[in-house]
């Protein structure tokens, strides 16, 4: 989920969407290895904590500043002057599949107000409020004209949840399909061996029983290092 704000001028990478500026950006990178093509487009990031209550005090919310609206083809042209502050609504979501899942992302449906994931809903809403407060801070005042999505009229928890159901999207760090553990739901044991099979290990992010509170790259590298040590006999089984 993200908050999109109209900027006071051409402060974002969206200005490079014009064909002649795209051409120059490409040449600048080829010749000098600089310019917008050299950017990862999310050059600022932070972790915030979603709430003061004890249940939320240690729940990190990853924030990523996007120097562009992220507007897709067919969306309002005025959004192409904007910037977004995007956050992963729940780095440690508690919802779990209780049976073999049929994957239906239902990204356009509303975040439930009751049932299995009230905790995840609460974190999503609080994370959005954090993003909104940052973009409305005095430091951004020279650059931010106004919030456009969802807009200042969206204020209540129910309104934010409805916006999240319409505009939320997946991020890039799925884990957990081959959970490591010792319980009946575990696919691999603590040595990364697939239970019930000989000579097969899994050594990627799918073995994480829970999502880490950051990008998965470093943790996945360490899982692979551990697997190689097991295979080479450097670690006791």
Which residues are annotated as catalytic?
173
Those residues with Cβ within 8 angstroms of residue 236's Cβ, 6 or more apart along the chain or in another chain:
none
Specify the 3-state DSSP secondary structure of 148.
strand
Closest to 237 (Cα-Cα) out of 171, 170, 191: 191
Phi, psi of 79 (to 5 degrees): -70, -15
* Nearest Cα to Cα of residue 162 among 115, 112, 126: 112
Phi, psi dihedrals of residue 36, rounded to the nearest 5°: -65, -30
Instruction: Look up residue 162 and give its two tokens.
Output: 């409805």
Q: For residues 56 and 35, is the Cβ–Cβ distance under 8 A? A: no
Sheet containing 2-7: order of strands: 44-49, 60-66, 82-87, 2-7, 144-149
**Which run of H or E residues covers position 63?**
strand 60-66
């Amino acid at each position: 989920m993200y908050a999109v704000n109209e900027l006071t001028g051409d402060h974002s990478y969206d200005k490079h969407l014009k064909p002649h500026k795209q051409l120059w950006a490409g040449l600048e990178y080829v010749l000098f290895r600089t310019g917008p093509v050299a950017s990862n487009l999310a050059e600022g990031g932070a972790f915030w904590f979603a709430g003061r209550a004890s249940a939320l005090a240690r729940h990190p919310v990853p924030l990523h500043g996007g120097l562009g609206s992220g507007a897709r083809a067919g969306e309002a042209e005025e959004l192409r002057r904007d910037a977004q502050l995007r956050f992963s609504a729940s780095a440690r979501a508690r919802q779990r599949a209780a049976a073999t899942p049929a994957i239906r992302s239902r990204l356009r449906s509303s975040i439930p107000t009751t049932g299995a994931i009230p905790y995840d809903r609460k974190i999503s809403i609080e994370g959005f409020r954090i993003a909104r407060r940052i973009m409305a801070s005095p430091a951004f005042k020279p650059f931010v004209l106004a919030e456009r999505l969802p807009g200042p009229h969206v204020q209540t928890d129910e309104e934010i949840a409805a916006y999240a159901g319409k505009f939320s999207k997946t991020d890039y760090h799925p884990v957990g399909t081959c959970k490591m553990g010792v319980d009946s739901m575990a696919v691999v044991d603590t040595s990364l061996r697939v239970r019930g099979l000989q000579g097969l290990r899994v050594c990627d992010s799918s073995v994480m029983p829970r999502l880490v509170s950051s990008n998965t790259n470093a943790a996945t590298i360490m899982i692979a290092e551990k697997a190689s040590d097991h295979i080479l006999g450097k670690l006791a089984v």
